[in-house]
Amino acid sequence: MLTDIERHALRRAVEIAADDGVPLGPNPRVGCVLLSPGGDVLAEGHHRGAGTAHAEADALARATASLTGATAVVTLEPCTHHGRTGPCADALLDAGISRAVIARRDPNPVAAGGIDRLRRAGIDVELDVPEELAAAAAHLNRGWEHGVRHQRPLVTAKLALTLDGRAAAADGTSRWITGEAARAEVHELRATCDVVLVGAGTARADHPTLTARPEDGARVPRQPLRAVMGTGQFPALPTPEGAGEAITLATHDPSAALADLFARGRRHVLLEGGPTLAAAFLRAGCVDELIVHLAPTLLGTGPPGLGDLGITTIADRLDLDLVEVTPLPPDLRLTLRPRAA
């Protein structure tokens, strides 16, 4: 069972792991807090991206007092493999720790095994952490964990719709279907993903910037990669100050596009447009989450918010599980996941 001091330390480890400047991939985001036998904080550390020290090594390097009998509080199981850095489990053992609090097992079979190694060495390993903190540690790396399991990025499709499923009016106008709160949340979503992807049709029609722009005008330390998928001619994306890199994925195949992005170290893709792109990814089974901003308005006609899914009979419908409903007055945000077959 965790002590109050260890709970506080784990909350702090999650906080420092979530540093906005740390990439979302291809490595996990991890935080570590080292506690003395009496509960004092000896050092903190976190991983800052591929090629940098792991969280445990970073914390060990910052410690100035003896670590004999110390407790290591970490958000992810210490690794056991030799990569650009040595095994973190061995480093903790060499430092003389006697206890480890670990929020989450490592799903990567190449790196996992640290828990067993520590226990074999006689270290008291605590995995029973509060659900809130376990969920926070999981959320840190949901794109990375998805990549480990599926070898492609996590894909979130964002749609803005009227109650009758329209994305724009019959004359093509669409600013603004949703209100200010929903539009502000789009920028928050962009800041939490490492790719924002649109189709060539959206690039031609809307000339989107695809940047994260907070309401308060604050600088976003990590802008997403901006990507346009498709072939043919379309204008280059605008490049306002601070915008992330922009690339073209010259394919109509969602799996090929995701393979390209995965190879670039990207682990969470936000699909922002348009209806043809979203439909293509849904048809390919490449959407993991949908976020629908639903406006309390009707148009009656106009382009639909989603393109053809190739469904001709009710038996073939694509069912979704409703995960969450959140008011964003005057709109609603629906968070959904395609239902497993």
Please write the tens of the pLDDT for every residue from 22-40: 988 899 999 999 999 999 9
The distance of Cα 173 from the centroid of its chain, to the nearest Å, equals: 31
CATH superfamily of this structure's domain 4-141: Cytidine Deaminase, domain 2 (3.40.140.10)
The pLDDT, as a whole number, for residue 83 is 76
295 close to 163: Cβ distance less than 8 angstroms? yes
pLDDT at 216: 67
- Domain positions in the chain are 4-141, 151-338
Q: Is 181 helix (H, G, I), strand (E, B) or coil?
A: helix
Alpha-carbon distances of 18 from 9, 49, 136, 324, rounded to whole Å = 14, 12, 10, 23
Query: What local confidence, expressed as pLDDT, does residue 218 receive?
Result: 67
User: Please, are residues 21 and 48 in contact by the beta-carbon 8 Å criterion?
Assistant: yes
Which residues of the chain fall short of a pLDDT of 50? none
**pLDDT digit string, tens, across residues 168-196:** 899 878 778 899 999 999 999 999 999 99
β-partners of residue 197 are 227, 271
15 belongs to the catalytic site: no
Closest CA to 30 of 168, 145, 126, 132: 145
May I ask the CATH class of domain 151-338?
alpha beta
How many CB atoms within 10 Å of residue 183?
Answer: 17
> Is 151-338 the same fold as 4-141?
no
Model pLDDT, residue 26: 93
What's at 298, amino acid-wise? L
pLDDT at 207: 86
Give the span between the Cα atoms of 331 and 32, in whole angstroms.
39
* Active-site pick, 56, 77, 145, 185: 56
Give me the amino acid identity at 38. Answer: G
Reported pTM: 0.93
Largest CA distance in the chain: 71
